[in-house]
Amino acid sequence: QLQLVESGGGLVQPGGSLRLYCAASGVTLDYYAIGWFRQAPGKEREGVSCISKGGDITNYADSVKGRFTISKDNAKNMVYLQMSSLKPEDTAVYYCGAVRHLLFSRCVLSEEYNYWGQGTQVTVAA
């Protein structure tokens, strides 16, 4: 059974950077596409970024393009989300999700994912 654990969240000032980690255990990530999602209070979960099984195809929400970078290390069973130029509106709980079979054009849709971590809080404030 695949288990995901997010970490790396915290409090950061506007314009700052954070790196989020999604650690997988139980099975190898070679067979899973991974997505990063976030949910702010009172809002629905939204897709932030996603990466293919092999790590060679990525996708980003318009709101984070040019600021966030997703990467995947299948050998370490890890997925990363490097976030820079952070804004207060990036404040949310960030989750990673995993799915084995995915039409990649749908990779930012949370309903496509079968496995989820518990989330890590990111707060961007002065």
Per-residue pLDDT of 53-71, as tens digits, reads: 999 999 999 999 999 999 9
pLDDT in tens, 67-125: 999 999 999 999 999 999 999 999 999 999 999 988 888 998 999 999 999 999 999 99
Q: How far is CA 99 from CA 31, 34, 52, 63, 65, in A?
A: 8, 7, 10, 23, 22
Across 8-31, average pLDDT: 96
Q: According to the model, what pLDDT value does residue 114 have? A: 93
CB-CB contact of 110 with 97 (8 Å): yes
Q: Which residues contact 4 (CB under 8 A, 6 or more apart)?
A: 22, 23, 24, 96, 97, 98, 115, 116, 117
Q: According to the model, what pLDDT value does residue 103 have? A: 85
Scanning the structure block, which residue is given the tokens 């490097």?
82
